[in-house]
């Protein structure tokens, strides 16, 4: 399951729609480059970049070079870069017009008539259907695989329509729906931490766990994506996909096997049983305002000056299964927060007034695990003190070098026909249905404000305080002694 495996791979032509966009330069090409450097690249793989700009393959390669240098996790040497870029060619076409697809067919014949085709849709969801239909019309879809970037639609209705069109054209086995958070090293590690440790396996339930906190806080604002973001907001951009994926991996029952179908079923069982007890109180929307180092969200480029779009959301959720009866799960994500940190905090129930045990799975930027537990304070007395075991996986150079980027893992998995890192449509559908309920209830609400580079709106802290909890932050960890 899930890791990068060195296997023989079939000949492939990977075609990237949206080949001159940020995602291709920042993530996809560096990921392919890294696969090549780590010997995970098929001998016969050809990458066709689709774009509207009038470029030659040579001029495209020149454009791509500095991006690869900046964004590859593995050192880029000129020789390696040239060897890699030899696999990349540029193809100018407008993907809404038939003419280009006819030429594309011929191009594929010239490259390798027998190669498997993998199409990467790195474009806005409104183009997914039209590209798929044109591929079919021009005989380019049969037996081909497609990777669909998130967001998979803008709401339940558009997601269903996209899925309907795609599944009329491609086999379900050939559709790969991306959520790159699933492929992050420490998200994959949750399976091992939960299921390969007796000490956690048996206490992972409402009897022992007081609450779970999932945070994905970012320092960045909306950068150059104001237009997309202002129509999307944190709930749809991060919660509907990345955070619900993490949540379902953290809380699901052990899948029967570790294949994609069993994992998806276990996750779907969680998504089916999610609820929000009090829609008014348990959902907090925030929006960042100006401070010395940042403009306010409403002043960002391509953002409506009266925008009510949330750049932060915090929610309290419950899961209607015996394992999680009455256990609150708090989830938050925000832009322009005081610190970039993605992590899962599991706070155990307090026993005999001793400080609660806490397990923290650190997803990024640091990867690792904290465990807070109690010991006797050295000395004559029998006072208890909390100590911290802190395992930093990414502090080790070798570990860092051996850890593929999420997109490396995803591209490799799609080439290998492994679906375990990708979302099923049932997951996508349930996630949208859940999020739409929240939107229906909060449509048009004025978000609470928080100054940029702070810890989110007050409402997010009150949300936990009402239940007698706090977001477990750095300061609280520091109260414990490092071991």
- Cβ pair 49, 85 in contact under 8 A: no
Comparison of 237 and 300: residue with beta carbon closer to ligand BG6: 237
Q: Which is nearer to ligand BG6, 26 or 44 (CB)?
A: 26
Task: Give the other-Cβ count within 10 Å of 231's Cβ.
Answer: 12
Read off the tokens for 205.
């339930």
Laid out side by side, the sheet with 45-51 consists of 88-92, 45-51, 12-17, 116-121, 145-148, 175-177
User: Is 242 in the active site?
Assistant: yes
Is residue 237 within the footprint of ligand BG6 (CB under 6 A)?
Answer: yes
Minimum CB distance to ligand BG6 smaller for 45 or for 345 = 345
Nearer to ligand BG6, 218 or 367 (CB): 218
Nearest distance from residue 225's CB to ligand BG6, in Å? 7
* C-alpha closest to that of 456 among 328, 274, 330: 330
Cα separation, 121 vs 248, in Å, equals 26
State which H helix or E strand residue 390 sits in: strand 384-392
Task: Kindly identify the residues of this chain, within the stretch 145-184, that bind ligand BG6 according to CB under 6 A.
Answer: 150
Q: Which helix (H) or strand (E) holds 210?
A: strand 209-217
At closest approach, how far in Å is the CB of 344 from ligand BG6?
A: 14
* Contact in structure between 422 and 177 (CB atoms under 8 Å): yes
Give the CA distances from residue 282 to residues 50, 230, 317, 342, 436, in Å, rounded to whole numbers and listed in that order: 44, 23, 8, 21, 15
Residue 183 Cβ, how far from ligand BG6 at the closest point, in Å? 10
By the rule CB under 6 A, 408 interacts with ligand BG6: no
Q: Of 183, 181, 205, whose CA–CA distance to 253 is shortest? A: 205
How many whole angstroms separate alpha carbon 360 and alpha carbon 368? 8
Beta strands 312-319 and 329-334, pairing class: antiparallel
Least CB distance to ligand BG6 at residue 86 (A): 29
Rounded to an integer, what distance in angstroms lies between the CA atom of residue 13 and that of residue 145? 10
3-class SS of residue 375: strand
**What does the block give as tokens for 185?**
């090293």
User: Of the two residues 100 and 233, which places its CB atom closer to ligand BG6 in the complex?
Assistant: 233
Q: Residue 69 — left, alpha, or beta (φ > 0 → left; ψ -120 to 50 → alpha)?
A: alpha
CB of 299 to ligand BG6, least distance (A): 18
Closest CA to 165 of 114, 121, 122: 121
Cβ 302 vs Cβ 227: under 8 Å: yes
| CB of residue 180 to ligand BG6, shortest distance in Å | 6
Q: How far is the CB of 220 from ligand BG6 (least distance, A)?
A: 6
**From 242, 264, 419, 442, the catalytic residue:** 242
Distances in whole angstroms, Cα of residue 415 to Cα of each of 7, 68, 260, 411, 418:
10, 21, 15, 6, 8
The smaller minimum CB distance to ligand BG6, of residues 117 and 335, is found at 335
Task: For the CB of residue 341, give the shortest distance to ligand BG6 in the complex, in Å.
Answer: 10
CB nearest ligand BG6: which residue?
237
- Residue pair 319/251 in contact (Cβ under 8 Å)? The answer is yes
Which of residues 220 and 375 has its CB atom nearest to ligand BG6 in the complex? 220
**Angle at the Cα of 278 from the Cα atoms of 276 and 281, rounded to 5 degrees:** 115
| Contacts (CB under 6 A) with ligand BG6, residues 5-64 | none
- The footprint of ligand BG6 on this chain (CB under 6 A) covers a number of residues equal to 4
Per-residue x/- marks for ligand BG6, 211-230, CB under 6 A?
-------x-x----------
Q: Quickly tell me which residue has 């939107």 as its tokens.
A: 439
CB of 228 or CB of 391, closer to ligand BG6? 228
* β-bridge pairing 145-148 and 175-177: parallel
Two structure tokens written together for 65: 């070079």
- In the bound complex, what is the minimum distance in angstroms from residue 237's beta carbon to ligand BG6? 5
B/e letters for 30-54, b = 16+ CB within 10 Å, e = fewer, are: bbbbbbbbbebbbeebbbbbbbeee
In this complex, which beta carbon is closest to ligand BG6, that of residue 19 or of residue 226?
A: 226
- Residues numbered 464 to 483 that lie near ligand BG6 (CB under 6 A) are none
Q: What residues act catalytically?
A: 242
Site residues, ligand BG6 (CB under 6 A)? 150, 218, 220, 237
């Amino acid at each position: 399951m899930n890791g990068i495996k060195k296997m023989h791979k079939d000949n492939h032509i990977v075609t990237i729609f949206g080949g001159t966009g940020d995602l291709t330069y920042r993530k996809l090409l560096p990921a392919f480059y890294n696969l090549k450097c780590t010997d995970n690249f098929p001998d016969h793989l050809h990458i066709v970049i689709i774009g509207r700009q009038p470029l030659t393959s040579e001029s495209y390669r020149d454009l791509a070079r500095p991006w690869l240098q900046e964004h590859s996790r593995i050192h880029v040497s000129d020789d390696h870069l040239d060897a890699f870029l030899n696999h990349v060619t540029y193809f100018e076409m407008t993907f809404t017009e038939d003419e280009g697809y006819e030429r594309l067919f011929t191009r594929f014949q010239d490259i390798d008539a027998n190669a498997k085709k993998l199409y990467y849709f790195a474009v806005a969801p409104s183009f997914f259907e039209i590209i798929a239909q044109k591929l079919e019309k021009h005989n380019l879809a049969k037996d081909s695989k497609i990777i669909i970037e998130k967001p998979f639609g803008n709401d339940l209705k558009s997601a269903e329509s996209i899925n309907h069109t795609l599944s009329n054209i491609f086999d379900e086995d050939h559709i790969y729906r991306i959520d790159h958070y699933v492929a992050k090293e420490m998200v994959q590690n949750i399976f091992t931490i939960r299921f390969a440790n007796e000490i956690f396996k048996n206490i992972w339930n409402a009897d022992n766990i007081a609450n779970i906190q999932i945070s994905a806080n970012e320092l960045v604002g909306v950068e150059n994506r104001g237009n997309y973001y202002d129509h999307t907001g944190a709930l749809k951009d991060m919660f509907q996909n990345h955070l619900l994926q993490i949540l379902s991996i953290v809380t699901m029952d052990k899948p029967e096997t570790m294949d994609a179908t069993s994992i998806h079923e276990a996750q779907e069982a969680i998504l089916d049983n999610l609820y929000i007890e009090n829609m008014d109180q348990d959902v907090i929307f925030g929006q960042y305002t100006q401070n010395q180092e940042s403009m306010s969200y409403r002043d960002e480029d391509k953002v409506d000056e009266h925008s009510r779009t949330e750049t932060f959301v915090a929610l309290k959720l419950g899961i209607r299964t015996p394992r999680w009866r009455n256990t609150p799960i708090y989830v938050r994500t925000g832009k322009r927060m005081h610190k970039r940190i993605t992590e899962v905090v599991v706070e155990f129930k307090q026993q005999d007034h001793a400080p609660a045990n806490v397990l923290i799975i650190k997803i990024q930027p640091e990867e690792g695990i904290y465990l807070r537990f109690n010991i006797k304070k050295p000395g004559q007395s029998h006072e208890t003190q909390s100590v911290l075991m802190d395992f930093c996986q990414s502090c080790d150079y070798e570990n860092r070098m051996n850890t593929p980027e999420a997109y490396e893992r995803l591209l490799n998995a799609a080439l290998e026909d492994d679906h375990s890192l990708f979302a099923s449509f049932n997951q996508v559908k349930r996630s949208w249905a859940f999020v739409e309920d929240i939107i229906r209830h909060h449509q048009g609400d004025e978000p609470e404000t928080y100054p940029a580079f702070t810890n989110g709106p007050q409402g997010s802290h009150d949300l936990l305080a009402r239940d007698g909890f706090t977001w477990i932050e750095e300061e609280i960890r520091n109260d414990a002694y490092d071991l």
